């Protein structure tokens, strides 16, 4: 998510400038080898993000057995991360390496809009997924009536429309400037693509991160407490064939809850440093060095590449589906109806 960072002043006459005009932002002095290494690292991250999330989109969309409320939320989450990799990360790479924005003010505003929307959409979806898992584990008898495909679609709509509306108000209206102009700070140099570098942006972004994360952590703590209690109850009785099937389904639900809990934990690990830095900058007049800021924001971006890797290592059905995709078996008739959960 684009955030708060003051461009550094020219430190020496030999420092390259983004543009040959007065008041231009300084560029970087990285050697060719360092620039190439950074570009390669960023390109690797983009490829992992794009192809990993593209695979999730293909798998969940194609196989009918995966058309569940939880997986539709995963599909929407993967689509947001996919779009982030396609539309935001290439230009963020150039800005990070060159310390300059070469694509114009209009696209700068659009880039900031997309960056913020996709990142907020991710955290909204993870929050909704934790609610889904809470119902599945803590109230399994009523889960299928409470959390239906229709409910999942409503959550998906909210997860996209609220971030879009929130970001649009900041970037494309004058409401903030007219009502809270004393919070705003002008960017003193040309070529920075830093539209909302003000204390208000940081103060509002923090609760948008903190409160959903608090909800997720609270729900997952309750999920694991209930799941452990259920496991003890199941192990203490002799089960029939029917209850054994129920136990198998319950085990699958708990596996999903554990995997998605790991995804939430990694999300917190990736985004918490950046969010804390945003708050520190708001309080201390943006003291974070540009290099450290770039490291933190790319660490946050890296989260978008993590979820597909988590699914590969955690879900046998996902590995099976990916194998079918790479073998081009998805073009075989009726393959979409295969039972991926069957051993």
Q: Is residue 8 part of a domain?
A: no
- 138-152 average pLDDT score: 87
Give residue for tokens 């694991």: 224
Q: Is residue 2 part of a domain?
A: no
The predicted-structure confidence for 301-341, as pLDDT tens digits, reads as follows 988 888 888 877 777 888 888 888 888 766 666 777 787 77
Phi, psi of 42 (to 5 degrees): -65, -40
The predicted-structure confidence for 4-20, as pLDDT tens digits, reads as follows 444 444 444 456 777 77
The pLDDT-based confidence of 195 (bands split at 50, 70, 90) is low
Domain that holds residue 288: 32-337
User: Alpha carbon 195 to chain centroid distance?
Assistant: 22
What pLDDT, on a 0 to 100 scale, did the predictor assign at position 165? 93
Identify the CATH number of the domain in which residue 260 sits.
1.20.1070.10
Q: Is residue 5 part of a domain?
A: no
User: Alpha carbon 112 to chain centroid distance?
Assistant: 15
Q: Is residue 343 part of a domain?
A: no
- 43-63 average pLDDT score: 92
Element at 87 (helix H, strand E): none
Q: What's the rounded Cα separation, in Å, for the pair 208 and 232?
A: 37
Q: Is residue 4 part of a domain?
A: no
Q: Is residue 196 part of a domain?
A: yes
What pLDDT, on a 0 to 100 scale, did the predictor assign at position 54? 94
What pLDDT, on a 0 to 100 scale, did the predictor assign at position 213? 82
Highest mean pLDDT among 252-256, 272-276, 279-283: 272-276
- 44-51 average pLDDT score: 93
Instruction: Please state, rounded to an integer, the average pLDDT across all residues of the chain.
Output: 79
Q: Count how many domains the chain has.
A: 1
Q: Is residue 234 part of a domain?
A: yes
Q: Is residue 291 part of a domain?
A: yes
- 17-43 average pLDDT score: 82
Lowest mean pLDDT among 49-53, 55-59, 246-250, 314-318: 246-250
Least Cα distance to 4 among 282, 231, 247 occurs for 282
What pLDDT, on a 0 to 100 scale, did the predictor assign at position 161? 96
Burial of 174 per CB tally in 10 Å (0-12, 13-18, 19+)? exposed
The predicted-structure confidence for 251-271, as pLDDT tens digits, reads as follows 666 666 677 778 778 888 888
Enumerate residues 6+ apart whose C-beta is below 8 A from 295.
none
The pLDDT-based confidence of 156 (bands split at 50, 70, 90) is very high
């Amino acid at each position: 998510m684009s955030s708060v960072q003051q461009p550094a002043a020219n430190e020496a006459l030999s420092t390259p400038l983004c543009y040959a005009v007065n008041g231009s932002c300084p560029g970087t002095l990285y050697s060719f080898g360092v620039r190439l290494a950074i570009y390669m690292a960023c390109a690797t991250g983009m490829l992992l993000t794009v192809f990993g999330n593209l695979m999730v989109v293909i798998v969940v969309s194609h196989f009918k057995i995966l058309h569940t409320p939880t997986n539709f939320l995963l599909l929407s989450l993967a689509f947001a991360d996919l779009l982030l990799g396609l539309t935001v990360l290439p230009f963020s790479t150039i800005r990070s390496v060159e310390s300059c924005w070469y694509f114009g003010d209009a696209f700068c505003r659009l880039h900031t809009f997309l960056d913020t929307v996709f990142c907020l959409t991710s955290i909204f979806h993870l929050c909704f997924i934790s609610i889904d898992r809470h119902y599945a584990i803590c109230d399994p008898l009523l889960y299928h009536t409470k959390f239906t495909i229709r409910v999942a679609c409503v959550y998906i709509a909210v997860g996209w429309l609220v971030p879009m509306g929130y970001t649009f108000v900041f970037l494309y209206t004058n409401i903030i400037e007219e009502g809270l102009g004393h919070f705003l700070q002008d960017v003193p140099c040309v070529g920075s693509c830093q539209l909302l570098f003000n204390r208000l942006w940081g103060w509002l972004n923090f609760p948008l991160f903190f409160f959903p994360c608090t909800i997720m952590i609270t729900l997952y703590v309750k999920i694991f407490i209930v799941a452990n209690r259920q496991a003890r109850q199941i192990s203490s009785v002799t089960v029939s064939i029917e209850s054994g099937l129920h136990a198998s389904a319950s085990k699958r639900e708990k596996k999903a809850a554990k995997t998605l809990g790991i995804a939430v934990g990694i999300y917190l690990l990736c985004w918490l440093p950046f969010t804390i830095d945003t708050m520190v900058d708001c309080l201390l007049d943006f003291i974070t060095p540009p290099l450290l800021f770039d490291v933190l924001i790319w660490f946050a971006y890296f989260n978008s590449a993590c979820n597909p890797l988590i699914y590969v290592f955690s879900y046998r059905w996902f590995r099976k589906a990916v194998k079918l995709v790479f073998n081009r078996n998805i073009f075989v008739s009726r393959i979409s109806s295969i039972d991926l959960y069957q051993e």
